[in-house]
Amino acid sequence: MEQTLYFILLLIALCSVSECVQRQYYFINVQKSWTEAQRYCRENYTDLATVDNMNDMNEVKNVSANPNNYVWIGLQRTSVNEWQWSSGDHVLYLNWSTGQPDGRDDECAVMKNGQWSDVSCSNSQTFICNNTNTGLVFVNQTKNWRDAQSYCRQNHIDLVSVRNQNENQQLQKFINDSHISGDVWIGLFRDSWQWSDQSDSLFRYWRSNEPNGAGGNENCTAITSNDALRDWNDVPCNTKFPFVCHEDKLILIKENLTWSEALRYCRQNHVDLVSVHSEEIQRRVMNVVKQASTGAVWLGLRHSCTVGLWFWVSGQTVCYQNWEIDDSENCDSAVRSGAVQSGGDQRWISRPETDRLNFICSRNEE
């Protein structure tokens, strides 16, 4: 009994360790066009800088401190600007109020009185998630669209989709019955801006009234220079500015090795097989595994039948979890190791350690 309590306390202590940086930024103080800067970063680092959140942005500001110039980051306008459901459902039905949508880009949808309007994704709204067991769930906390999406994905399935008139009525009835007033986020968004490394980060830090697409060719993003805020502006891509590259701490190795071979490879050439101990690292893993040539990709996740537990080979406790199937009970066959699916929901699965898969190493701190 005391031992169990001790174990639980130990878990709590281990699980509250703060996470380490997964991406390193480098300021290159040479003036290049956006495309030249992109090439330089891809040759020397991972890519032009991707920014996931305000912490990342502060890092970028620190490394590029005191430039008298705009500074390129990896965000570029594309020709794709269609409405999409967060869940990946096809958009077959739309129910805009009169005059909507009226935004240009970086827009997300809210529902009010059964009809939809587009607003800036950085607004704070309450929202509705979909849950497999309980159906619709109202979350009475205000968050921007991206954070609402993360919350739903972590705690339920995703932000709610509305695929036909029937579902729209069900949702409106739910809103009525739950006495929800005001606008709520639904899972609909559109965004023509894409990160150079294909990351799906929806973090944006635009200067007010930007991006304005002035002249029709402002298709690249730079950090502004003339005040402390250093927020973003859209500018023509052929302008020459210094820039910020990033290097991912995660590297996908596209060789088919058993789990033990993969572990040895990472420890010899980099640091270790990756530990996915937070949602943020899971998101980065999801970006990296898109390029994999096998259906699943090894993680540094190992099962011990003796204690009936999964653990990270880096020594961390498994706190954050993202299992598709956790077959901890399966102790009859080969030793099990953990992998992440490279497609679909990109959840974790358990595999015999003798399977041959691609894998992800964590890279050296410089």
Ligand X SMILES: *[C@@H]1O[C@H](CO)[C@@H](O)[C@H](O)[C@H]1NC(C)=O
**Options 212, 291, 293, 321; binder of ligand X; rule CB under 6 A:** 293
Which residues partner with 350 through β-bridges?
Answer: 338
Tokens of 128: 């509705």
CA distance 197 to 47: 6
Query: Which of 69, 97, 150, 178 contacts ligand X by CB under 6 A?
Result: 178
Q: In a 10 Å sphere around its CB, with 0-12 CB exposed, 13-18 middle and 19+ buried, how is residue 91 labelled?
A: middle
Instruction: Between 175 and 245, name the residue whose CB sits nearer to ligand X.
Output: 175
Among the listed ranges 28-36, 160-168, 321-329, 335-343, the one in contact with ligand X (CB under 6 A) is 160-168
Binding of ligand X by 173 (CB under 6 A): yes
User: Tokens at residue 175, please?
Assistant: 């809103």
Tokens of 78: 């594309």
What's the gap between Cα 169 and its chain centre? 31
Any contact of residue 161 with ligand X (CB under 6 A)? yes
Question: Per the structure block, which two tokens stand in for 315?
Answer: 């020594």
Distances (CA, A) of 158 to 89, 92, 94, 112, 132: 11, 18, 19, 19, 10
Per the document, the length of the chain is 366
Q: How far is 101 from 95, CA to CA, in rounded Å?
A: 10
Least CB distance to ligand X at residue 113 (A): 7
176 makes contact with ligand X (CB under 6 A):
yes
For the record, the structure tokens of 196 come out as 């150079």
When the beta carbons of 69 and 294 are compared against ligand X, the nearer one is: 294
Least CB distance to ligand X at residue 169 (A): 5
Q: Is 290 in the site for ligand X (CB under 6 A)?
A: no
Site for ligand X in 210-249 (CB under 6 A): 217, 219
Query: Which of 46, 86, 130, 346 lies at the binding interface for ligand X (CB under 6 A)?
Result: 130
Of these, 256, 278, 322, 330, which contacts ligand X (CB under 6 A)?
A: 256
Classify strands 250-257 and 184-190 as parallel, antiparallel or unpaired. unpaired
Q: With contacts defined by CB under 6 A, how many residues of the chain interact with ligand X?
A: 22
- Count CB neighbours of 74 within 10 A: 27
Tokens of 160: 């709610």
Q: Which stretch binds ligand X (CB under 6 A): 64-72, 102-110, 143-151, 178-186?
A: 178-186
Stretch touching ligand X by CB under 6 A, among 165-173, 223-231, 271-279, 325-333: 165-173
Task: Rule CB under 6 A: choose which of 169, 198, 304, 364 binds ligand X.
Answer: 169
Q: x/- contact string, 135-154, with ligand X (CB under 6 A)? A: -----x--------------
Q: Is the Cβ–Cβ distance between 346 and 323 less than 8 Å? A: no
Q: Smallest distance from the beta carbon of 162 to ligand X, in angstroms?
A: 7
* Interface pick for ligand X out of 24, 31, 122, 172 (rule CB under 6 A): 172
C-beta contacts of 7-13 below 8 A and 24+ residues apart: 11/317, 11/319
Residue whose token pair is 């306008």: 77
Binding site for ligand X (CB under 6 A): 77, 79, 130, 132, 140, 157, 160-161, 167, 169, 172-173, 176, 178-180, 217, 219, 255-256, 293-294
